[in-house]
Amino acid sequence: MLDPKVYVTQYHPRLNFSPAKKFGEIVFMTERDFKPDMGTQPQWVEEENTRVSNEIGESLIEYLPGHDYLLITGNLMTALVTGQYLAKRFNSEIKHKVLKWNNRSHDYDVYEI
């Protein structure tokens, strides 16, 4: 079987992702942020948001639930779009492994949701 991967929802240059490497190869889903659409934004806002959304979806093509890990970071919109892609691809019976930073142990805890 393949080695697991850690799918990080959004790269942030000030965060150290090294401790997550013990769970598998790090895959950054996007570095970009979603732009707010207030109804009066130019067309490029919608196009940029579509690019970010597509980037997230494409990064999840090889994701294997229960084998790979998710590491939720960054913008809440990125996390929501990731959840939408996973919900479309997998039924609710599928378990996902999620890493959450523990400030006490200075390591990641694993949650199965």
What is the structure's pLDDT at 107?
96
Q: How many domains does the chain have?
A: 1
Average pLDDT, the chain: 92
- Whole-model pTM: value is 0.91
- Residue 94's domain comprises 5-112
Q: What are phi and psi of 22, to 5 degrees?
A: -70, -15
Q: In the chain, where does DSSP find H-type helix?
A: 43-59, 76-89
- How many CB atoms are located within 10 Å of the residue 61 CB? 8
Q: Quick one: pLDDT at residue 51?
A: 94
Averaged pLDDT, 79-105: 93
